[in-house]
Amino acid sequence: MGIYILKRILQLIPVLIGVSILTFSMVHLVPGDPVVVMLGNQATAENIARLHHEFGLDRPLYVQYLDYMSHAVRGDLGHSIRTRQSVFGEIKLYLPWTLRLTALAVALSAFVGVTVGMLAATAKHKVFDFLTMAMVLIGISTPTFFSGMILILVFSLWLDILPVSATGGFRPIILPAITLAAPAAAVLARVARSSVLEELRKDYVRTAFSKGLRERSVMTIHVLKNALIPVITIIGLQFGGLMAGAVIVESVFARPGLGRYAVTSINARDIPSIQGIVLVAAFIYVLVNLVVDVLYGFIDPRIKYR
């Protein structure tokens, strides 16, 4: 397994290089000059030219990219055009907020999705199954900005149970985590239901029941473990989606985090900040998928890494 992990780590290098090239290209294709946005009414031709030279924006694109990557491999993601602060320092400031929200949303969606999917599978073609799948469809179809506003209206304004926005404690993160987790939980519920139903049709399940084992033991010890492989795959894929969804959720609930920092940077055409955010997010995403691949071997010993 050590060789496999080493190979996967080496595979991260071309992925991150590809992400950096795409991000660098798309950022420079977006209309608007970050210097003009920063200067506003004071954007004279002399000031624009001076700041273009100061930030290196007057050089050829390939030179800018090579210079950026030569610093990025040493942990230097440049300085924000908007704040003049280190991009890496600002990401370190905002990233923990987004990671806490994303981790809680992943845990919540995994618990709810797997539990609901298993219960729906055991109640196939019954009322609970139909109601569950209807709720799953609603969860997948409802945009997070809309569900977030509904939760704020009900639990913050009407019932006054949870705060709309705050930065300290556990209570302020509950509504954003539920909002972010709802679509992922719906997807996991459908995947878990299909996976459990597939396992229930296999011979070892019939053998377990014929031996007199209780349904709870068969479901939790035998079926669930074998049904977790596709579920864990979806959880790994959902992690990136949840980090991206944090952009909307953090804006709706006015939470500090990488999402709001990304929105502010995009509006200001802050090229170094945008590139740094995307590069860090891509690194976290591929790292999570590496962990998911390694987990396969622990869940199912039949899986061998060569």
Using 50, 70 and 90 to split pLDDT, how confident is the model at 188? very high
> Considering the domain boundaries, does residue 7 fall inside one?
no
What pLDDT, on a 0 to 100 scale, did the predictor assign at position 304? 62
Per-residue pLDDT reduced to its tens digit, 196-238: 888 888 888 888 888 877 877 787 777 877 788 888 888 888 8
Can you tell me the distance from the alpha carbon of 256 to that of 268, in angstroms, rounded to the nearest whole number?
A: 17
* Domain contains 88: no
pLDDT-based confidence at 28, cuts 50/70/90?
A: confident
**Whole-model pTM?**
0.82
Mean pLDDT of 3-26: 82
Instruction: Please tell me the predicted confidence (pLDDT) of residue 34.
Output: 75
The number of domains in the chain is: 1
Q: Is 167 part of a structural domain of the chain?
A: yes
Residue 145 CB burial class (10 angstroms; 0-12, 13-18, ≥19): middle
205 within some domain: yes
Phi, psi values for residue 79, rounded to 5°: -120, 140
Establish if 90 belongs to a structural domain: no
| Structure confidence at residue 247 (pLDDT) | 83
Q: Is residue 153 part of a domain?
A: yes
The answer to whether residue 105 sits within a structural domain is yes
What's the pLDDT score for residue 181?
Answer: 92
- pLDDT per residue as tens digits for the range 70-121: 888 888 888 888 888 889 899 999 989 888 999 999 999 999 998 898 888 8
Residues whose CB is less than 8 angstroms from the CB of residue 177 and which lie 6 or more positions away in sequence, other chains included: 101, 104, 105, 108
Which positions ≥6 away from 166 have C-beta within 8 Å? Answer: 172
Amino acid at residue number 246: A
Residue ranges making up the domain that contains 263: 96-299
Q: Is residue 90 within 8 Å of 262, Cβ to Cβ?
A: no
**CATH number, domain with residue 235:** 1.10.3720.10
Tokens standing for residue 173: 């993160």
Residue 215 lies in a domain: yes
